[in-house]
Amino acid sequence: MSHNPYLSYYLNTMDIKFWVRRRLPELPPSELSLENPVTPTAATHPIETNELLSPTSQTPSPLLAESVQPETLMSPNFPPTQRNSALSPEHFRVQAWQELQQQVATCTACELYQTRTRPVFGTGNRRAQWMFVGEAPGADEDVQGEPFVGRAGKLLTNMLLAIDLPREIAYIANILKCRPPGNRNPQPHEVKCCTPFLTRQIELVQPKVIVALGAVAARFLLDTETEIGKLRGKRFEYQNTGIPLIATYHPAYLLRNPVAKSKSWQDLQLACQMIRDSSAG
Ligand code: SF4
């Protein structure tokens, strides 16, 4: 058996100092908690590298993306003429993504288009089970046109790997598609102008769980002014869609406050449970 040599590094990134069993046939779910870390034994095995990285593994993790039937991808908002067309639903789905991306690329709906280097549309698997939503592009994202590529992005990548989720398996987007100058907080009118793009992305991806990263994302997705510390650690539902939503701290906050990593770890475990529940259901 080949062992993944990197998993302990990813767990250390999250300040998690113990191994967690990947398969626990002899333990009830109640024992799978941070309070009951599993001591490494012969029965505790690290995740194999190919299990961790390959979405096409013959025994894929239930946390990884699953194939979605084309008929489930058709939005009810598509015009009936398109739904009845001889062209496949997949054709219209691809077209919808292209149109949305083009709309963002040429958007001048708020003043941020004047100072952006490039818009940051979103990245990852457009049929993902997991969708992560952050706040807005930073300096690195503004240059590269991709969300979460700076230090906070590297931490997010490692956080996801710690739960056996390569980031390309997930879909990652932001509330705002253009960088606010100086990384200031998004203004309410900017959020109002930009969030229809995110709403459409969620509609197209149809994730099994949404993880809001930070207060700005959590407050918009949950339509609340409650502070992030009181939102995290709980299961919400995204706008009566049945999609579970978990709020947690933004990775940039975790860089400034490493002590909060353990809470983010717990939040990710809760999101994992949402995925398992959806697979079981
Ligand atoms: Fe358009 Fe959003 Fe960029 Fe404003 S932030 S210009 S609404 S894409």
Q: Residue 98's CB: how many other CB atoms inside 10 A? A: 10
Give the pLDDT confidence score for residue 63 in this predicted structure: 47
Predicted confidence band at 7 (pLDDT cuts at 50, 70, 90)? low
Give strand pairing partners of 246. Answer: 211
Residue 262's SS3 state is: helix
How far apart CA 223 and CA 221 sit, in angstroms, is 6
Residue 279 — pLDDT band, cuts 50, 70, 90? Answer: confident
Smallest CA-to-CA distance from 159 within 262, 54, 265 is with: 265
Report the separation in Å between the CA atom of 80 and the middle of ligand 1, taken as the mean of its atom positions.
29
Evaluate: CB of 180 within 6 angstroms of ligand 1.
no
Mutation choice for ligand 1 from 104, 110, 120, 197, CB with most ligand atoms inside 8 A: 110
Which has the minimum average pLDDT: 29-33, 68-72, 173-177?
A: 68-72
Ligand 1 pocket member 210 (CB < 6 A): no
- Asked whether 68 lines ligand 1 (CB < 6 A), one says no
Res 12: pLDDT: 72
The neighbour count for residue 267, using CB atoms within 10 Å, is 22
Ligand 1, closest atom to CA 116?
Answer: 3
| Residue 78 pLDDT | 42
Q: What 3-state class would DSSP assign to 202?
A: helix
Query: Ligand 1 centre from 16 Cα, in Å?
Result: 38
Q: What is the per-residue pLDDT for 37?
A: 40
Please write the tens of the pLDDT for every residue from 42-66. 333 333 223 333 333 334 344 444 4
Average pLDDT over residues 30-47: 37
Cβ 194 under 6 angstroms from ligand 1:
yes
Residue 180 DSSP class: P
Q: Is the pLDDT of residue 114 over 50?
A: yes
Question: What does the pLDDT read at residue 89?
Answer: 86
Centre of ligand 1 to C-alpha 142, Å, is: 13
Distance separating alpha carbons of residues 167 and 161, to the nearest angstrom: 7
Q: pLDDT exceeding 70 applies to what percent of the chain? A: 69
Ligand 1 touching residue 112 (CB < 6 A): yes
List of long-range contacts for 228-235, beta carbons under 8 Å, 24+ apart: 232/263, 232/264, 232/267, 233/263, 233/266, 233/267, 233/270, 235/270, 235/274
Answer whether 261 contacts ligand 1 (Cβ < 6 A). Answer: no
Give the position, in ligand 1's atom list, of the atom nearest the Cα of 107.
1
113 lines ligand 1 (CB under 6 A): yes
**DSSP state letter for 47:** P
178 C-alpha to ligand 1 centroid (Å): 6
**pLDDT value at residue 56:** 34
Confidence (pLDDT) at 67: 38
What's the distance, CA 108 to chain centroid?
Answer: 26
Q: Does the pTM of the predicted model rise above 0.85? A: no
Using the atom order of ligand 1, give the atom closest to the CA of residue 193: 7
Largest CA distance in the chain: 60
- The pLDDT assigned to 90 comes to 87
Average of pLDDT values for 9-26?
60
- Report the nearest-CA residue for atom 4 of ligand 1: 110
Choice among 59-68, 160-169, 213-222 with the minimum mean pLDDT? 59-68
Q: Which residue has the tokens 């490039």?
A: 118
Which residue do the tokens 């203004």 mark? 187
Task: Tell which wins on pLDDT, 67 or 198.
Answer: 198
Number of Cβ within 10 Å of residue 171's Cβ equals: 26
> Long-range contacts of range 141-148, CB-CB < 8 Å, 24 or more positions apart?
141/174, 141/179, 142/116, 142/117, 142/118, 142/178, 142/179, 143/117, 143/118, 145/117, 145/118, 145/119, 145/120, 145/121, 146/120, 147/120, 147/122, 147/123, 147/172, 147/173, 147/174, 148/172, 148/251
- Is residue 190 helix, strand or coil? helix
Atom of ligand 1 nearest to the CA of 110: 4
Q: How confident is the model at residue 226 (pLDDT cuts 50, 70, 90)?
A: very high
